[in-house]
Structure 1
Amino acid sequence: MNIDWLKAIQLTVTFIVLSTLFYVSLPILYPFYISIILAIIILPLAKLLERKLYFPRGLAIFTMIFMLLVVSVTVISLSMIELIHFLQQFSHFLPVIFDTTLQHFYETIFPWTEKMIGTLSNLLSRSPDFSQDYFTQLLMDFANSFRDYSQNFLLDLVQSLILIFTSTLQSSYIFILILLSTYFLAKDGPRWAASLLSKVPAPVKDFIYDLRMQSFQVVKKYIFAQLLIILSSGLIIWIGLTLLNVKHALAITFFSMLLDFIPLIGVSVVFIPWILYSFLTQQFFMTIGLSVLLLVLIIFRNIIEPKLLGTSLGIHPFVMIILLFLFFQWFGVMGVLLTPLCLILLITIKQTGILRDIQAYLTK
C-alpha cells in the first residue's frame, strides 16, 4: 500500500490547525458551544410539539427552553432548600462540635504544650540574657506577623466579595447569552444548515446525513447507559440511607443523583463532609454506615460504569480510562467534561467509515 505523503501532511496540518483553533477558542466561545449543544437537544422535542400540537416553530422552541429553565430552577431550588436545611442543622450542632474539639485539645494537646513550655523555660533560665531577648523578639515578630496577616486577610476578604459579586453578574450575563443563542440557533439553525448543504456536492451531503444519524444513535446509547448507572447508584443510596434511618433519605438521594452527572465530583461531595460531621459529633455508627455506603458506591461505579458504557457503545473500557486520563491531564476538569464528547466523536467516526475514507484518500 503506497501512501501519498503530501496528502498525509496536508491532512495532519489541517487537523492540528482545527484542534488548536478549538482549544484556543474554547475559553472565549464556550457559551456558544453550550448553546449549540442545547439547541441540538431541544430541536427534536420542539419538532415534536410542531407535529403533535401544531405549535409555530418559534413558540415550540420558546416552550422547550422555558421548560428546561423551569426544571433547572426547580432542581437548583430544591437542592438549595436541602442545603440550607443541612446548614441550619449544622449550625445548631456547631457549638457542640466546637466544645468537643476544645475538650479534646485540652485533654491531649494542652499537656504536651505545657511540657514544651516547661522545657523552654529551663533552657531560658540557663542563658537568661541572650535567650530572653531572643524569645521576646520572637514574640514581637509573631505579633507583627499576625497583625499583618489580619490586615491582609480583611483586604483579601473584601476583594473576594467583590470578585464573587462580579462573577455573579458575569455569570448572569453569560446565562442570558446562552439562552438567547440557543433560541436563535434552534429556530434558524436548520435553515442555515440546509442553505449550506445545498451548496456542497451530493457525496458530502450524504456523508453529513450519515454522520448526523450515527451521532444521534450514539448519544441515545450514551444517555441511556448514564441514566441506568445513575438510577442504580440512586437505588443503592436510598436503600443505604433508609437502613441507617436517615431523615429526608429520598431528597438526599435525589440531590446525590443530580450531582452524579458531574464527573469526578458525584456523590463524594455529599458523603465526605457528612462523614466528617458524623465523626466530629461522635456519631460513630452513622460514620461507619456512611463510609461503607460510599465505599460500595465507589466500587460499584468503578466496576459497572466502564463495563456498561463499553458494552452499550461498543468500545473497550480500557480505552475509556485512557481517554479520561489524557483529557484530564490536558484540559483539567474541563477535560473530564469533554471526554464523553470525544468518545461519541470517536465512535461516530468508526461507525461512519471515516477512517476507511481517509485510508482511500491517502492511498495512491
Structure 2
Amino acid sequence: MMSFYRKYYKTVFDIALIVLTVYLFMLLFSYLYRIATPIFLSLVIFAIIEPLAKRLHRLGMKKSLASALSTLLFILVIAGILFGLGAVITIQFSNLSDKIVLYTGQIQSLVQDQSGTWQKQLEGVVPPDILNRLQEYSGTALKWLSGWSATFFGALISWLTSFSSFLVNFLIAIILAYFLSIEIDTWKRLAGEKTPRTFKTAFTFLRVNVLAGIVGYLKAQMKLISVTFVVIFVALLLLRVDNAFAISVLSAVFDLLPLLGVSTVFVPWIVYLFIVGQTTLAIWLTALLAVVLLVRQILEPKITGDTLGVSAFTMLAFMIVSLSLFGVAGLILSPILIITLKALLEQGYLQRWIRLPEEEFDTPPWARGGSGPQA
C-alpha cells in the first residue's frame, strides 16, 4: 500500500486539485445563476439580437435605434411563440397525458382479462407461481408507467402555464440585452484595457477551442431535430393521428437528448398498438420510425461534420451528476466544462498538470494527447 502511495501521491494530488477547481467553479456559477438569472439570460438574448443590430448600424442607422428595432423584432417573435404555439402545445400535451393514462389502463385490463387464457396455455410449461409473479410484475410496471407519464406531463403543463417568475426574469433580461447592445463597444474597450493577460489567454482558449465548437454543434443539432420534427409532424398529419404537434415536439426533444432519441417515444407506442390490435397504424409508425432514423443517419455526418468528440455516455453522465449537485446551473454548464477538459487534453495542458509515474505504463500514458501548449 505504501508503495502505491509513493508512486501515485503526486497524481492523486494533481487530479484532486483539478476536481476541486471544477467543483468550486460550478458552485460559484450555480450561486451566481440563482442571484443573477436575468444577467445570464440577457447574454443569450444579446447574442441573438446583436447580429441584426450590428448590421443595421453598419448601414448607417444609429446604434440605439438599431438595437431597439432588433430587440422589438425579437420580442414579437418570442410573443408569437409563447402565446401562439404555447397554447396549442399546452392543450395537446394535456390531451396526450390523459390518453396515456387511459391507454395504460386498457393494457392492464387486457392483461388481466387474458391472464386466465395464457395460464391455461402455459400450464405444464411454466410453474404457476412464476405466472402469478409475471402478472404481478406487469401490473406494477404498467402502474409505474402510468404514474410516470402523468407526473411528467403534469409537470410540463404546469411549467408551460405558470412561469411568472421566469417571465419577469426574461423581461428584465430583454431590457439588459438592449442596453448591452448599445454599450457593447465601451465594454469591449474596457475589457481590453483592464483585463489581466492570464484571463485574456483563458478567454481566448475558451472562445477558440470550446465556445465556437459548442455553438456549431448546437446549430447542427437544431437543424437535425428540425428535420425530425417536420418529418414526424407531416407523417402524423397524413395518418390523422390526434395531438400530432405535441407528439412531434416531444419526439424532437427526445431526439436532442443523448442516448435516448425518437425511439423512446415511438417504441412503447408501437408496442401498445400491436397489443390492442391497431396493427395498420403500428406498421405505419414502424415505417415512420425507420425513415426518421435513416434520415438522421444520412444527414448527421453532413450537417454536424466534425463532432465534439465526447461520447454520449460521458456527456449524459456528467450532466446527471451536475444536475444533482448544482441544479439547473450545473446542467447548463456541464457540457461546457466537459468539452473544456477535452480541449485541455488535446492541447496538452492536462499532460503538464497531471504527473503520472511513467514506469507504470508500457506506452506513454498521454500518447494520444496533443503535442502540448506552445510556450
TM-score range, shorter chain: 0.5 to 0.7
Change over 3 Å in CA distance of 1:174–1:86 after alignment to 2: closer
Tell me whether 202-211 or 36-45 shows the greater mean CA deviation.
202-211
Q: 1:17 is aligned with what amino acid? A: L
Q: CA deviation at 1:222?
A: 1.4
Q: CA deviation at 1:8?
A: 6.9
Structure 2 unmatched ranges of 5 or more? 1-9, 117-154, 355-371
| Paired residues of 1:237 and 1:293 also in contact (CA < 8 A) | yes
Tell me whether 40-49 or 346-355 shows the greater mean CA deviation.
346-355
Aligned with 1:198: secondary structure? helix
For 2:319, which of 327, 334, 346 is the aligned residue? 327
Residues 1:62 and 2:68 are matched in the alignment: yes
Where in structure 2 are the equivalents of 1:67-86 lying within 5 Å?
Answer: 67-76=73-82, 77-78=84-85, 80-81=87-88, 84=91
Q: CA deviation at 1:198?
A: 0.6
In 1: Cα distance, 2:268 partner to 2:87 partner: 16
Change over 3 Å in CA distance of 1:331–1:86 after alignment to 2: closer
Change over 3 Å in CA distance of 1:20–1:84 after alignment to 2: closer
Q: TM-score, normalised by structure 2?
A: 0.55
In 2: Cα distance, 1:266 partner to 1:66 partner: 35
Q: CA deviation at 1:22?
A: 1.4
Q: CA deviation at 1:354?
A: 6.3
In 2: Cα distance, 1:10 partner to 1:326 partner: 17
Where in structure 2 are the equivalents of 1:22-41 lying within 5 Å?
Answer: 22-41=29-48
| Paired residues of 2:235 and 2:288 also in contact (CA < 8 A) | yes
Q: TM-score, normalised by structure 1?
A: 0.57
After superposition, what is the alpha-carbon deviation per residue over 1:58-106, rounded to whole angstroms, capped at 9, x for unaligned? 2322322332232233334135336647878999x99xx79x959x68x
| Paired residues of 2:315 and 2:335 also in contact (CA < 8 A) | no
Paired position in structure 2 for 1:120 = none
Paired positions, count = 301
Identity of aligned residues (%): 23
Change over 3 Å in CA distance of 1:338–1:164 after alignment to 2: closer
In 2: Cα distance, 1:340 partner to 1:307 partner: 21
After superposition, what is the alpha-carbon deviation per residue over 1:23-42, rounded to whole angstroms, capped at 9, x for unaligned? 33333433322222222333
Q: CA deviation at 1:309?
A: 8.6
Paired position in structure 2 for 1:171 = 166
Paired position in structure 2 for 1:48 = 55
After superposition, what is the alpha-carbon deviation per residue over 1:135-159, rounded to whole angstroms, capped at 9, x for unaligned? xxxxxxxxxxxxxxxxxxxxxxxxx
Q: CA deviation at 1:179?
A: 1.8
Q: CA deviation at 1:195?
A: 0.9
Structure 1 unmatched ranges of 5 or more? 112-159
For 1:230, which of 210, 225, 230 is the aligned residue? 225
Paired position in structure 2 for 1:108 = 113
| Paired residues of 1:215 and 1:345 also in contact (CA < 8 A) | yes
Paired position in structure 2 for 1:138 = none
Q: CA deviation at 1:47?
A: 0.9
In 1: Cα distance, 2:205 partner to 2:97 partner: 55
